[in-house]
Amino acid sequence: MESSKQPWKIWLFVLGLNSIAIVGAFYLKSIGINLYAFRGGS
C-alpha cells in the first residue's frame, strides 16, 4: 500500500502554505499595508 505514505506529504504542503501566508502577512503589516482593508464592510 503506497497510499499510507501520502498523508505526511499533504500535511507538509498545508503547513508550508500556512507558514508562507503567516510570514507574508507579517511582512505586509511591517511595510504598512492593512490586511483588514480588503475584507470590506464598515
Share above pLDDT 90 across residues of the chain, in percent, rounded to a whole number: 45
Report whether 35 contacts 29 (CB < 8 A): yes
Domain region containing 34: 2-38
Q: Which residues contact 25 (CB under 8 A, 6 or more apart)?
A: 35
Q: Inform me whether the pLDDT recorded for 35 exceeds 90.
A: no
Residue 11 is predicted with a pLDDT of 94
Domain count, the chain: 1
pLDDT surpassing 80 at residue 25: yes
- How far is Cα 5 from Cα 2, in angstroms, rounded to an integer? 6
Evaluate if residue 22 carries a pLDDT over 90: yes
Judge whether 35 and 25 are in contact, CB under 8 Å.
yes
Residues in the chain: 42
Cα 41 to Cα 25: distance, rounded to the nearest angstrom: 20
Average pLDDT value for residue range 9-37: 90
Q: What is the pLDDT of residue 2?
A: 56
